[in-house]
Amino acid sequence: MIRSIAAIYYAQLKTSLAVQFQYRMSLAIWMIGRVVQPLIYLVIWTTIARTRGGEVNGYTVGDFAAYFIMAMIVTQATFSWIMWEYDTIIRTGQFSFKLLRPVHPIHADVADNVAYKILTLIILIPAALLLAWLFPPTFNPQIWSLSAGVLAIGLAFVLRFILDWTIAMSALWTSRVSAINQTYELVFFFLSGYFAPLAVMPPAVQTVAQYLPFRWIIAFPVELSLGRLSPQEALFGFGMQLFWLLSALITLTFVWRAGVKQYSAVGS
């Protein structure tokens, strides 16, 4: 079973790489946006830090530089666009062809996502090095935190993809998916640590973020990779990632089964 799944992913990944490579200019444009966004936040927060005597809630100018450079890498490794595609896929009937395949449609979507990220590494790595040159970061990681950070990024990718794919399935019930997607993205924006380190956010926001999945997708891998967490905090973070991953898998299973029935009923 594992060997057959691996073969499916290998074949799908080769196809996805070939397709993605045909849209080289689009890849470059999208990546420019992914670099510009954290750059803007970095400039904003380093400016605020300088006006406040050099730091904000324990984050110095160098700490902000390290955080946003790492956040750019983690965001690129974990994001997906799947929520915005399934509205069209379902409305135009393309979903029927996906259901005819012998494997779950999510596998092809994962392969497409991974292929995109492999190709955009040629832009991401130079961009990170350029930002590190323009804004000298303060990096103090340890070997254990870097190793744990890689694992945390992998779990964050799986968690976010399952969450996004579950949200995407809302298109099986409603045509107003853009409002759902935008609300989800707005909440994610403020509670994940993407806009700013959660330590500089209001206490109420930090409390809410502690018990929702978004923090464990961006802020936790970033802070862990930078060596800002203790081993105990790292273990708690991994526990929260696994808790939300299990919850997301259970939710996706129910949503998928109900959604396919709904789609079949409409199609009949």
CA–CA gap between residue 209 and residue 219 (Å, rounded): 10
Degrees (nearest 5) of the Cα angle 127, 133, 137? Answer: 100
pLDDT of res. 214:
96
Contact 48, 56 (CB under 8 A): yes
Q: Give 247 or 101, the one with higher predicted confidence.
A: 247
User: Residue 21: how many CA atoms within 13 Å on its side-chain side?
Assistant: 7
pLDDT of res. 268:
46
| Range 23-40 average pLDDT | 76
pLDDT of res. 96:
85
pLDDT of res. 63:
94
Q: Give 179 or 215, the one with higher predicted confidence.
A: 215
pLDDT of res. 108:
84
Q: Tell me the per-residue pLDDT of 55-114, one tens digit each, with 9 for 90 and over.
A: 898 899 999 999 999 999 999 999 988 888 888 888 888 888 888 887 888 888 888 888
- Helices 121-134 & 61-78, crossing angle to 10 degrees? 170
Q: Tell me the β-bridge partners of 60.
A: 55
Q: Give 63 or 8, the one with higher predicted confidence.
A: 63
Q: Residue 55: in which H helix or E strand, if any?
A: strand 55-56
C-alpha to C-alpha distances, 217 to 18, 28, 40, nearest whole angstrom = 29, 24, 21
Report which residue type is found at 98: K
Give the total residue count for the chain: 268
Which residues 6+ apart lie within 8 Å of 223 measured at CB?
193, 197, 229
Q: Which of 30-34, 135-139, 244-248 has the highest mean pLDDT?
A: 244-248
Q: Residue 157: in which H helix or E strand, if any?
A: helix 143-168
pLDDT band of 7, cuts 50, 70, 90 = confident
Q: Count other C-beta atoms under 10 Å from residue 249's C-beta.
A: 13
Q: Is the dihedral of CA 30, 181, 185, 167 positive or negative?
A: negative
Contact 103, 264 (CB under 8 A): no
Q: Work out the mean pLDDT of the chain and round it to a whole number.
A: 87
pLDDT of res. 37:
84
Report which residue type is found at 214: F
| Range 3-11 average pLDDT | 69
- Helices 105-119 & 2-21, crossing angle to 10 degrees? 50
| Range 170-187 average pLDDT | 87
pLDDT of res. 145:
94
CA–CA gap between residue 17 and residue 20 (Å, rounded): 5
Closest CA to 234 of 224, 226, 243, 242: 224
Q: Tell me the per-residue pLDDT of 130-175, one tens digit each, with 9 for 90 and over.
A: 999 999 998 888 899 999 999 999 999 999 999 999 999 988 887 7
